[in-house]
Structure 1
Amino acid sequence: MDDRKDELVNGRAPDESLTPEQQRQRAQALDEAGQVISEAIAIFAPLTPRQSAERVWAPGGPSVDELTSRIEESRANLPHVDAVDEVSSLPVAAPVTDSRAGAARRR
């Protein structure tokens, strides 16, 4: 019995249920998501939880204190990685911006 039964689509692995074009689009979407994640790591890893919270805070959302607490909790659950060494090995990327948050702060 396959332990990954929940991951199957119609009894087949997800890629097998996609057309070649859909597989290409999925691969491209995963590559682009990976790029965004690596850029976010490069931006946020060297910051303190408070600095990170201040960068992502937006009106109407959780407070900076709540965000700080969430970030501290999520970082505590990660395996220890020397962020400076990891980030220094990443290629330099253009900053990721959130137009929603930026527009809200300019008001």
Structure 2
Amino acid sequence: MPSFAPRNEPRKKKEELELKKQILKNAILSNLTIEIISKKTEIYKTAIISYNKAILHVIKNLEWKNKAHSFDKEKATREIEIWQNKNVETIISEIKNQL
């Protein structure tokens, strides 16, 4: 018997995503060099893609077990496509607008 219950959501990936976003915001607010901000942006972009892939994995497992879920498979797939095609400058400007 496992010591932890199986996850029904990608909690760890979501926490990583929030952390990477905060790190990127801090880098922008600290006026670090564009090279450093670009690296942090790439890491943030990867975290978003990983989070959405984790959602797809959870959906796949729940559908395989014939269990109901509240995740939107099409939205996660769309988000992956959108974020894979976004460039660093666009992401930086979006984050700056949130500050």
- TM-score under structure 2 normalisation? 0.39
- TM-score under structure 1 normalisation? 0.36
